[in-house]
Amino acid sequence: MSQFFETGRALAFSLVLLFACDVAYANATAASWRFTTGDGLATASLHATNKLITGGGALSYSPVLTIACHTGGEPRWTEWLQLNDAVSASRKITMSLTVDGGGKFDESWSVGPRGRMLTRDGADGVRRLVPASRLLLSWRFGLLSGRGQADFDLAGLNDAVGQLAGSCDTDPP
């Protein structure tokens, strides 16, 4: 009888530990996304897991991927990549994407103010990321400047997009 209680106690402890670890993982995933609302946008932002060295080589930073839903009027979705170093392109740039280690494909992204923001409008871009767990972005800084690369762990993206859709009073893409 004593062995039965010991086994039950061990099982109960294991279940409590499993539940606590699951909650801790969910909180860690939620903590990696930063949410803001204002200026007609609801956004969820995530830092890349890798670092880029700035032009001078003294500092490094992680690019930031942001997914946004426009809250006013007809809902629109946008994604953008925030950089500290500017790209030399003025209007459009070719961004290479790899989702979950699959094949690489290219998209045209717009170059934002001072070349430090790369943007792409459309729900289709967000839709392809929702089921993904990893995103690798690659772009050219300039003709002779080399390439930049940002690697993102997309854990929690589905929940983030759901929260954004709720803020925009629309369905997730």
The CATH class for the domain spanning 34-167 reads mainly beta
Q: Which amino acid is at 152?
A: F
Average pLDDT over residues 41-70: 89
Specify the pTM.
0.79
Please say if the pLDDT value at position 21 is more than 50.
Answer: no
Q: What pLDDT score does 77 carry?
A: 96
Show me where the domains of the chain are located: 1-32, 34-167
Residue of 56 and 119 predicted with greater confidence: 119
Q: What pLDDT score does 58 carry?
A: 66
Please say if the pLDDT value at position 81 is more than 80.
Answer: yes
